[in-house]
Amino acid sequence: MSMKFWCWITAAVLLLIGCNNNRSSVVIYIAQDAEFARPILREFEKETGIKTRAVFDSEAVKTVGLANRLLAEKNHPQCDVFWGNEEFRTRQLAAQNVFRATNGWAAFGARSRRVIVNTNVMRGAWSVTSLTHHAPRPTPQPIAPASLLELTNAAWRGKVALAYPMFGTTSAHFHALRQLWGDDAWQNWCRALAANQPFLVDGNSAVVKFVARGDAWIGLTDSDDIAAGQREGAPVAALPLAAESLLIPNTVAVVRGAPHPEAAQRLFDYLQSRTVVERLVSVQALENISKKEITAPVLRPDWDALIRDAESTTARLKEIFLR
Amino acid sequence: MNWPLLQNSLLVAAATTVFAAVLGVTAALALAGSGKSIRHGALALAAVALALPPFLVTNCWLDLLGGHGAWREWLPLNIFSTGGVVWILTLLTWPFFLFAALGAWRRLEPGQLESDPALCGAKLFRWLLWPMARSSLGLAGAIVFVLALNQFAVPAILQVKVFPAEVWVGFNTNLDNLAALKLGWPLIVAPVLLLLVLQHRDLRWPRGEGGVSAALFRRQLGGGWFGFSRVLTLLALVFSVAVPLAQLGGSRRTWSQLLPALEAAWPAVGHSFWLAAVTATLTVGAGIVWGQVVRTPKGGGTLLWLLFFTPGIFLGIALIFIFNRPGLDWFYRGAGVMLFALVTRYLAVGGSGAAGAIRRADRELIDAALQSRARFDVEMEFFGSHVSSLMGVVR
């Protein structure tokens, strides 16, 4: 074999092995969008000299891929810090002892679940279409539903879009609504909603697209997806927060048995800092600095009970929406 | 077990396979009778059709045929239907049949066409082309069927409930891999059954030139058949490539966001290209080794195809279980495990073609060349035409 051949083999082996067990580095699994997270990690590296190795979720499997990876690696953790974008998932992982026992995870900032409407279809009903942080809130008009309960009205038949209620933040929202209304009322509402032929899509950004295109007039989605749609010029507006709105903070957690605990702690603290949260708010990845800022009467779920009932709630949702 | 959803999935998968087969085989007829430049151009466009993200194509057709679609007034078809799903999946998968048929027909010899002038038109297809391509088309059919069976995003957007949604609930909401695996058994059993039916079949990807000239093929096929197949191929390329790309390129948003998006995701873009290139090279390399070691198509092939057909998340979790161990950190923490996963996943597609090329090679010629100390150069020259096309497919 020639010298060139062996050089290639050596280079390939070095590449495959990698050299990533550096003390001044930290491995982070990130459910937040890469475009928002990367600049923050760069700032962290500049400030601390700690190198970050980020693993983002993929469009295909979303946060569930990272969550399942954390679980699969539980016995021999590779990840130091998990940056989540939905509290429900983080609490599920915490319940499975994925995070360290003391000060395992924390929530920061908040976005929300909102009802959106197409401003072209509902012309005249909306004068304000922006969901930027400091913009005035749109004023509800009679034509828009005042409550999620109204989504089952015949007027909205085939005109409502939402992500599959078994997945993501929509799932957490439906779980919380069950707690709010009680099982019977919730099941009746779910059945009536399913019978009203809503568009069930595979994600919250798809909800915004459906409403923007006019296929649906009303949607139930996340505030950051609405903001992204508005930045792209989509004719959509969000209804104000209501008693049925759910707040969704970002979360940061240190993994139990993290390979780089000191660096993990520094990143854990850094991500919760006001500078970072303000930055996320400024790019509309988050809506508010903290849940405490929000005075509107939104859903305040009993999370322990929610996690406890998760399996039975999911079973009901499957039965109703996956037939 | 949610039987209605499984029935939906089977219906979507079967219909997609049938329509994609018709479109792909017809396109293969057109390209086999076309000149080199047209053939290569069309093959490149067909590869683009395979590479387009499903959500992009789906959103494009929603903009055209959705409730407020641009074509809706004069083409009142309901895209939110099983038919709509089959239409989109057909546009995404027909090139598999094109590559399979064209690859098989490259083995045609002029004598086979010239010996019997009456063997033309439908008879040519019935008695010569179909038997030659049947095996490869069967494998292409299996690939398309399983890809359509596992598809969740396109049916979800188009409001068709399918079985993979049921499996995703296990992963997503309950975070229970074992339960999801148990629930998802039909997604594993279906490809296993297909593989049992199709075992010992060898995949042949199209290569440079066949033995029969385009003019001879066209003459035997007949003007009517050739004209029809050309029109259908043109329509297939227009609908599966030109329309989505034109819509993407025609949007102001695409151009206003392209640079910021590239800037934000530049490291990821670089990684994607790097991983794709290395995976393609390793996959074809492994296929060459496999072809030299295993002399018959049946050797290990079924297992590799099973790894390709199994939903990726199952494979990922299995690899974590195998490699995430204290003694293997040097491998697990580097790029090695990622490349291993990708090569394992795609070895059936890329590797089996390379292995087939090796098996069909003239051993005496290779041995003679190897003895003349030109081993590396000879191998590269001999397999170059196969390997270059395979690497494109794997990428």
Residue A69 in contact with partner chain B when CB distance is under 8 A: yes
pLDDT of residue A142: 42
CA distance linking residue B245 with residue B248, whole number of Å: 5
Residue B264 in contact with partner chain A when CB distance is under 8 A: yes
CA distance linking residue A91 with residue A86, whole number of Å: 9
Q: What is the pLDDT of residues B354-363, one digit of tens each?
A: 666 666 665 5
Residues of B in contact with A75 (CB under 8 A): 324
DSSP state string for B246-284: HHHHT-HHHHHHHHHHHHHHHHHHHHHHHHHHHHHHHHH
Q: What is the pLDDT of residues B195-207, one digit of tens each?
A: 777 665 555 655 5
Residue B374 clears pLDDT 50, i.e. is over it: no
Residue A232 in contact with partner chain B when CB distance is under 8 A: yes
Confidence band for A130, pLDDT divided at 50, 70 and 90 = very low
- Tell me if A18 and B324 make a contact (CB, 8 A cut-off): no
Confidence band for B385, pLDDT divided at 50, 70 and 90 = very low
Residues of B in contact with A76 (CB under 8 A): 324-326
- Tell me if B68 and A72 make a contact (CB, 8 A cut-off): no
Is the pLDDT higher at B60 or at B298? B60
- Tell me if A322 and B165 make a contact (CB, 8 A cut-off): yes
pLDDT of residue B386: 42
CA distance linking residue A35 with residue A41, whole number of Å: 11
Amino acid letter, A1: M
DSSP state of A283: T
Q: What is the pLDDT of residues B82-116, one digit of tens each?
A: 999 999 999 999 999 999 999 888 888 888 877 77
- Tell me if A201 and B325 make a contact (CB, 8 A cut-off): no
Give the tokens for residue A220: 């139930």
CB B191 within 8 A of CB B311: no
pLDDT of residue B390: 41
- What is the pLDDT averaged over residues A263-291? 91
pLDDT of residue B204: 60
DSSP state string for A153-200: SGGGTT-EEEE-TTSHHHHHHHHHHHHHH-HHHHHHHHHHHHHT-PEE
pLDDT of residue B295: 59
Least confident of A37-51, A259-273, B322-336, B345-359: B345-359
CB B112 within 8 A of CB B217: no
Q: Work out whether strand A236-238 and strand A105-118 pair parallel, antiparallel, or are unpaired.
A: antiparallel
pLDDT of residue B136: 87
Is the pLDDT higher at B260 or at B318? B318
Residues of B in contact with A201 (CB under 8 A): 156-157
A197/chain B closest Cα distance in angstroms: 10
Q: Of A35, A93, A311, which has the smallest distance from its Cβ to B174's Cβ? A: A311
CB A259 within 8 A of CB A77: yes
A20/chain B closest Cα distance in angstroms: 7
Residue A61 in contact with partner chain B when CB distance is under 8 A: yes
A35/chain B closest Cα distance in angstroms: 6
Least confident of A110-119, B187-196, B295-304, B361-370: B361-370
Residue B377 in contact with partner chain A when CB distance is under 8 A: no
Residues paired with residue A51 on neighbouring β-strands, in sequence order: A25
Three-class DSSP category at A220: strand
Residue A213 in contact with partner chain B when CB distance is under 8 A: yes
Q: Which of residues 143-172 of B touch A (CB under 8 A)?
A: 152-153, 156-157, 159, 161, 165-166, 168-169, 171-172
Q: What is the pLDDT of residues A41-70, one digit of tens each?
A: 999 999 999 999 998 887 656 677 888 889
Q: 């475009």: which residue's tokens?
A: A35
Q: Of A20, A60, A199, which has the smallest distance from its Cβ to B334's Cβ? A: A20
* Strand stretches in chain B, DSSP E: none
Nearest CA among A256, A210, A17 for reference residue B66: A210
Mutate to test the interface with A, among B81, B175, B376 (most CBs of A within 10 A): B175
Q: Which residues contact A262 (CB under 8 A, 6 or more apart)?
A: none
DSSP state of A77: -
Least confident of A252-261, A275-284, B61-70: B61-70
Q: Of A38, A61, A68, which has the smallest distance from its Cβ to B177's Cβ? A: A68
Give the tokens for residue B289: 């080794």
Confidence band for A2, pLDDT divided at 50, 70 and 90 = low
Q: Of A17, A56, A202, which has the smallest distance from its Cβ to B156's Cβ? A: A202
Residue A233 in contact with partner chain B when CB distance is under 8 A: yes
User: How many interchain CB pairs under 8 A, A with B?
Assistant: 130
Least confident of A88-97, A261-270, A309-318, B180-189: B180-189
Least confident of A85-94, A251-260, B181-190: B181-190
- What is the pLDDT averaged over residues A85-97? 91
Residues of B in contact with A167 (CB under 8 A): 168-169, 172-173
- What is the pLDDT averaged over residues B265-281? 83
Mutate to test the interface with B, among A3, A76, A323 (most CBs of B within 10 A): A76
Residues of A in contact with B329 (CB under 8 A): 21
Report helix angle B375-394 to B363-371, nearest 10: 130
Q: Work out whether strand A25-30 and strand A81-84 pair parallel, antiparallel, or are unpaired.
A: parallel
Q: Of B80, B321, B329, which has the smallest distance from its Cβ to A72's Cβ? A: B321
- Tell me if A72 and B177 make a contact (CB, 8 A cut-off): yes
B394/chain A closest Cα distance in angstroms: 19
Tell the burial category of A10 from Cβ atoms under 10 Å away from its Cβ (0-12, 13-18, 19+).
exposed
CB B300 within 8 A of CB B294: yes
- Tell me if B173 and A233 make a contact (CB, 8 A cut-off): no
Residue B41 in contact with partner chain A when CB distance is under 8 A: no
pLDDT of residue A61: 63
Is the pLDDT higher at B318 or at B312? B318
CB B304 within 8 A of CB B348: yes
- What is the pLDDT averaged over residues A273-284? 92
Give the phi and the psi of residue A56 in degrees, each rounded to 5. Answer: -95, 160
What mean pLDDT, rounded, does chain B reach?
Answer: 81
* pTM of the complete model beyond 0.95: no
Confidence band for A16, pLDDT divided at 50, 70 and 90 = low
- Tell me if A17 and B159 make a contact (CB, 8 A cut-off): no
Residue A132 clears pLDDT 80, i.e. is over it: no
- What is the pLDDT averaged over residues B364-376? 54
Residues of B in contact with A161 (CB under 8 A): none
Residue of chain A whose Cα is closest to the Cα of B169: A166
Residue B373 in contact with partner chain A when CB distance is under 8 A: no
